[in-house]
Amino acid sequence: MNILLLGSGGREHALAWKIAASPLVTKLWCAPGNAGIARDAECVALDISDHGAVIDFCRINKVDFVVVGPDAPIAAGIVDDLNAAGFKAFGPTRAAGQLESSKSFTKALCRANAIPTAGYQHFTDADKAKAYIRAQGAPIVVKADGLAAGKGVVVAMTEADALAAVDMMFGGGFGEAGAEVVVEEFMAGEEASFFALCDGEHALELATAQDHKRAFDGDQGPNTGGMGAYSPAPVLTDAIRAQVMEEMIHPTLRALAAMGSPYKGVLYAGIMITKDGPKLVEYNARFGDPECQVLMLRMMSDIVPALIACADGQLKNFSLRWYDEVALTVIMATKGYPGDYGKGFVIDGLDDAAGVDGVEIFHAGTKADGGKILSNGGRVLNICATGKTVTEAQGRAYAAVDRIKWPEGFCRRDIGWQAVAREKAGK
Ligand code: AMP
Ligand code: GLY
């Protein structure tokens, strides 16, 4: 079959790599793709925000199935438009995708269905938000309501920081996304990522992962889209995963089906393991980036039938097999990220790095220029490795990182620290 993948990040490179390995695939395109994806798919320079252009491409090239990677096209209704034009796609409709694109939609859904999450209030007015913050005290969390590339959240440890965050968001600090603000109770605990494929009615649990959102070692610095990840996340025990399915995923699918917007695609639940049990931090309507990279490395089964089963409502009797090995990924980003950064820096040593045992490199913001690979974004490379333990995978990933010559890049040196500490403690 002919498949078109939409997106250009590390998540999409991992998806392209996994989809390209399927014997069901005749031809794989990726729009717009990146320099690494070009190894696994034919990259096409389509503007994916132009849904008409995407549909025309599908018609001309007899595309059988479209896989949507990022959140923005989902929020823009690409799946609705593809379906209306007669094309099958992996991903939720715009209405179902509100689980990610509108924090207040999800908060209201949680409240109506007793899904455990932080208490919250929703504001369209800065003074009211500030009065609420003063009444609640710190620590407290201030969130822009719309999409902000994982950066629209301020976890304020002091009241002054929270008040400043309100001014910044209503002042347009996150553009349109901050026109409405959610103020949330602070949840203390360890965070992990839970994924389930959904077909509107049934859910199939995938492997778990743990992300590292802060820019710098020791979980310091600003929040980012994610600086590294590993899978599985041992903090999500069998018992907790069963609780997440029972208390969050199933009620969410039932609620959306009852609204007439059944959820199809991958549902990504950010979970905080608090002393009162797992609570939902947020939903995303797509695979995590970089979590997807480690999930794809661990998935043994062909992914293509699973993605199609989501679109077709056929997940009920589906199962997937996974490798027991762990996988870990270190993100190399351009210095300055998640703030301002330059582009067009030459990256050397990639082939040498890929030669380390167990290592696979996925590209995010890269561009080919003749024989050279240039940086072309904030998060640029995903240096992934598998291993028998997180400690082994971590050692391999950093051995590969050390072979890469890119002075303008940086990475965290402690990806996987929670799991490495658990392994050292023998737990
Ligand atoms: P979100 O975009 O909602 O996932 O928030 C980004 C990050 O901020 C999360 O991954 C958490 O690390 C942190 N965060 C969000 N909400 C809360 C909360 N209520 N309590 C503590 N940390 C939070
Ligand atoms: N890794 C976090 C995200 O994809 O939102």
**Spatial distance between the Cα atoms of 335 and 378, rounded to a whole number of angstroms:** 8
pLDDT tens-digit map of 1-43: 999 999 999 999 999 999 999 999 999 999 999 999 999 999 9
Tell me the ligand closest to 288's alpha carbon. 2
Per-residue pLDDT at 180? 83
CA separation, residue 279 to residues 12, 92, 141, 152, 335 (Å): 28, 23, 15, 20, 34
244 CB contacts (<8 Å, ≥6 apart)? 194, 236, 269, 271, 278
Q: Say whether pLDDT at 151 is over 80.
A: no
**Spatial distance between the Cα atoms of 222 and 232, rounded to a whole number of angstroms:** 25
Average pLDDT, the chain: 95
Q: Which two tokens stand for residue 207?
A: 């492997």
Q: What is the mean pLDDT of residues 209-218?
A: 95
CATH topology of domain 2-91: Rossmann fold (3.40.50)
pLDDT above 70 coverage of the chain, percent:
97
Count of Cβ atoms closer than 10 Å to residue 131 Cβ: 12
Q: Say whether pLDDT at 398 is over 90.
A: yes
Pocket test for ligand 2, best of 289, 293, 330, 412 (most atoms within 8 A of CB): 289
Q: Whose CA is nearest to atom 15 of ligand 1?
A: 281
Pocket test for ligand 2, best of 284, 294, 329, 331 (most atoms within 8 A of CB): 284
In the chain, the amino acid numbered 193 is: S
Q: What is the pTM of this model?
A: 0.94
Per-residue pLDDT at 144? 85
CATH class of 119-185: alpha beta
Pocket flag, ligand 2, residue 288 (CB < 6 Å): yes
CATH topology of domain 326-426: Glycinamide Ribonucleotide Synthetase; Chain A, domain 4 (3.90.600)
Main-chain dihedrals φ then ψ at residue 155, nearest 5 degrees = -90, 100
Pocket flag, ligand 2, residue 291 (CB < 6 Å): yes
Q: Specify whether the CB–CB gap between 310 and 304 falls below 8 A.
A: no
CA separation, residue 354 to residues 14, 337, 396, 400 (Å): 15, 24, 10, 7
Confidence of residue 112 (pLDDT cuts 50, 70, 90): very high
Residue the block writes with tokens 């030459």: 346
pLDDT tens-digit map of 217-257: 999 998 898 999 999 999 999 999 999 999 999 999 999 99
Q: What is the CATH number of domain 190-312?
A: 3.30.470.20
Q: Say whether pLDDT at 164 is over 80.
A: yes
The residue extents of the domains of the chain are 2-91, 119-185, 190-312, 326-426
In the three-class reduction of DSSP (H, G, I as helix; E, B as strand; rest coil), residue 21 is classed as coil
Q: Say whether pLDDT at 148 is over 60.
A: no
Q: Say whether pLDDT at 192 is over 80.
A: yes
- Going by C-alpha positions, the residue among 37, 24, 95, 42 that lies closest to residue 69 is 37
**Ligand 1: distance of its center to the CA of 191 in Å?**
9
Per-residue pLDDT at 182? 87
**Ligand 2: distance of its center to the CA of 212 in Å?**
9
In the three-class reduction of DSSP (H, G, I as helix; E, B as strand; rest coil), residue 33 is classed as coil
Q: Which two tokens stand for residue 350?
A: 């990639």
CA separation, residue 123 to residues 103, 104, 282, 328 (Å): 12, 10, 18, 39
Per-residue pLDDT at 176? 63
pLDDT tens-digit map of 319-359: 999 999 999 999 999 999 999 999 999 999 999 999 999 99
Residues whose beta carbon lies within 6 Å of some atom of ligand 1: 118, 141, 143, 150, 153, 155, 184-187, 191, 213, 223, 270, 281-282
**Spatial distance between the Cα atoms of 36 and 420, rounded to a whole number of angstroms:** 29
417 CB contacts (<8 Å, ≥6 apart)? none
Strand arrangement of the beta sheet that strand 140-144 belongs to: 120-123, 181-185, 140-144, 153-156
Q: Whose CA is nearest to atom 3 of ligand 2?
A: 288
- Going by C-alpha positions, the residue among 343, 102, 398 that lies closest to residue 228 is 398
- Beta-bridge partner residues of 2: 27
Tell me the ligand closest to 284's alpha carbon. 2
Q: Specify whether the CB–CB gap between 59 and 82 falls below 8 A.
A: no
Tell me the ligand closest to 283's alpha carbon. 1
Q: Say whether pLDDT at 87 is over 90.
A: yes
Q: Which two tokens stand for residue 212?
A: 């590292």
Q: Say whether pLDDT at 290 is over 70.
A: yes
User: DSSP string spanning 83-148?
Assistant: HHTT-EEES--TTTTHHHH-HHHHHHHHHHTT--B--EEEES-HHHHHHHHHHH-SSEEEEESS--
Per-residue pLDDT at 172? 75
- Running DSSP on this structure, what letter comes out for residue 241? H
pLDDT above 90 coverage of the chain, percent:
89
Q: Which atom of ligand 1 is nearest to the CA of 143?
A: 3
Pocket flag, ligand 2, residue 97 (CB < 6 Å): no
Confidence of residue 129 (pLDDT cuts 50, 70, 90): very high
pLDDT tens-digit map of 376-392: 999 999 999 999 999 99
Pocket flag, ligand 2, residue 211 (CB < 6 Å): yes
Per-residue pLDDT at 102? 87
Identify the weakest region by mean pLDDT among 139-153, 284-298, 344-358: 139-153
